[in-house]
Amino acid sequence: MNCTLYCLETVGHEVKHWLDTDEFEQLNLVHNYHRKSETALKQIEANPFGLVLVNFEKHQDEKTEFCLKIRRKYQSLLIISLLPEDTVETISNDLKFAHQTLALSASYNLISNTALNSMKCAESISQSPALGKIFSNLESLPSPPKIYFQIREAITQPDCNAYQLSQLINKDHVLSARLLQVANSGFFSIPRKIADLKQAISLLGTETLLGLIVATHVFNSLPLTGKDFERLWKHGLGVALMAKSIALEAGAPRELVEISSIAGLLHDLGRLVFISNHSEEYQTIIQQTGGIESELIQYEKKFFGFNHSELAAQILMLWGLPDEVITAIKLHHADNYEMLSSEGIATQAVIISEWMFSLPDGPESIQKTFFNSCPVNLDSNLLDNYYELYLKVKEQL
């Protein structure tokens, strides 16, 4: 089946430029351009697999109805909404049926990368009925905020530096505060307080920075307050800190240390999406399982047809995060010993970290006995070493 690109109305100068490039031709996308939704629907019915670009500059009600129809009926279609630059943040919140939202003035690189990621996601959905059903039934699918794309765009420039990134992030007070909180939470074991956003960005690295932007945005959109919010945030931060420490201990290069951090921070993204879309049902599942992760995974599969780690991996694929992050998150509840032994350090670090932050309360001897059943085989010396790291990380939260 051919993957088709459906365009509803004009789609902006940069999109048109991309459609004329050799790169677009190499994607083997069939391109269909429509002025009216009725003709687009007829074409889609003949081949309901691909991407739909919709210009929401005008006639929003009609196009919303069009998108809702195809979202409900065709699970292997992904919708990318295109908005005027000054309305991306405001209107995009009302277009929750869209899988991605871009400005009409978005750059060629951003459009190309978004299309490639969407194609990968559409292909994966087409091969899994359960995944397609979940994606089409989600009332609210989180998408990265405008600043996420601005930062991604900026870091591709050869002269990009921490000062320029800090100027962009300074406009978002909530994000700025969260970055400084993480920088002072033990991520770097620096004795002095970090009060400068530029220094925090330099220390975090670009991949971790992007992960924090996504995590902050998703957490802030949750229907949670107070203790529940802080508990989920601290758990993600704890797993991120622990995974980072394990990667450093293993002598991993900086890139993989960053990958381990961001995967740890976002490993429960799927749970957050379930909470946002099925709050009452998911709270019931949590109560029935007592919060025990292994049972939670089974109940998710039974109730939704998919577990939260698989859902998170699919969403992050759509957003274009590195493959190593996606693999680590998808497998963070895996228990196939032989398979995990061949996985990279980021995946193993996240699995071990998640396992440690699921340790039952009690004396050290009980916790270590529980940890001996970790899916990643560890010798006793390494186990003791990781347990000490775990205790240090808990103190830093």
Domains and CATH numbers, the chain: 4-137 (3.40.50.2300), 144-220 (no CATH), 222-396 (1.10.3210.10)
pLDDT band at 366 (very low <50, low <70, confident <90, very high): low
pLDDT at 9: 58
Mean pLDDT of 255-279: 86
Q: Which residues of 217-226 are buried (b: 16+ CB within 10 A; e: fewer)?
A: bbbeebebee
Q: Which residue has the higher pLDDT, 83 or 264?
A: 264
Name the average pLDDT for the chain. 77
Q: Check if the beta carbon of residue 143 is closer than 8 Å to that of residue 100.
A: yes
For residue 126, pLDDT over 90 is answered with no
Please report which confidence band the pLDDT of residue 280 belongs to, taking 50, 70 and 90 as the band edges: confident
Neighbours of 46 (CB within 10 A): 8
User: Higher confidence at residue 367 or residue 42?
Assistant: 42
pLDDT digits (tens, 9 = 90+) for 61-98: 888 888 888 877 887 778 888 777 666 555 555 566 77
Name the residue with higher pLDDT: 285 or 105: 285
* Separation CA 166–CA 325 (nearest Å): 24
Selection from 104-118, 135-149, 231-245 with the highest mean pLDDT: 231-245
Average pLDDT (206-226) is: 75
User: d(Cα 26, Cα 188) in Å, to the nearest integer?
Assistant: 43
Q: In degrees, to the nearest 5, what angle opens at C-alpha 337 toward C-alphas 331 and 342?
A: 70
Secondary structure of the chain in the HEC alphabet?
Answer: CCCEEEEECCCCHHHHHHHCCHHHHHCCCEEEEECCHHHHHHHHHHCCCEEEEEECCCCHHHHHHHHHHHHHHCCCEEEEEEECHHHHHHHHHHCCCCCEEEECCCCHHHHHHHHHHHHHHHHHHHCCHHHHHHHHHCCCCCCCCHHHHHHHHHHCCCCCCHHHHHHHHCCCHHHHHHHHHHHCCCCCCCCCCCCCHHHHHHHHCHHHHHHHHHHHHHHHCCCCCHHHHHHHHHHHHHHHHHHHHHHHHCCCCHHHHHHHHHHHHHCCHHHHHHHHHCHHHHHHHHHHHCCCHHHHHHHHHHHHCCCHHHHHHHHHHHHCCCHHHHHHHHCCCCCCHHHHCCCCHHHHHHHHHHHHCCCCCCCHHHHHHHHCCCCCCCCHHHHHHHHHHHHHHHHHC
pLDDT 10s digits, 164-187: 999 988 888 888 888 888 777 766
Q: What is the distance between the alpha carbons of residues 38 and 124, in angstroms, rounded to a whole number?
A: 28
Residue 1, pLDDT above cutoff 50: no
304: left (phi over 0), alpha (psi -120 to 50) or beta: alpha
Which of the two residues, 344 and 229, has the higher pLDDT score?
344
Residue, of 373 and 294, whose pLDDT is higher: 294
Least confident of 35-49, 149-163, 304-318: 35-49
Average pLDDT over residues 267-287: 84
- Res. 350 pLDDT band, cuts 50 70 90: very high
* The most confident of 283-292, 360-369, 373-382, by mean pLDDT: 283-292
Q: What percent of the chain has pLDDT over 90?
A: 5
Where residue 215 falls among pLDDT bands split at 50, 70, 90?
confident
27 vs 276, residue with greater confidence: 276
Write down the pTM of the prediction.
Answer: 0.78
More confident residue, 35 or 179: 179
pLDDT of residue 285: 87
Arithmetic mean of pLDDT, 35-47: 77
Q: How far is CA 186 from CA 27, 43, 355, 393, in A?
A: 44, 54, 20, 7
pLDDT surpasses 90 at 3: no
329: pLDDT strictly greater than 90: yes
Torsion, Cα of 222, 224, 230, 236 (10° steps):
-40
pLDDT at 368: 64
| pLDDT classification of 32: cutoffs 50, 70, 90 | low
In this predicted structure, what is the pLDDT of residue 140?
63
Name the more confident of 234 and 371: 234
Q: How far apart are the C-alpha atoms of 199 and 81, rounded to whole Å?
A: 35
Which of 40-49, 222-231, 327-336 tops mean pLDDT?
A: 327-336
Q: What is the pLDDT of residue 137?
A: 66
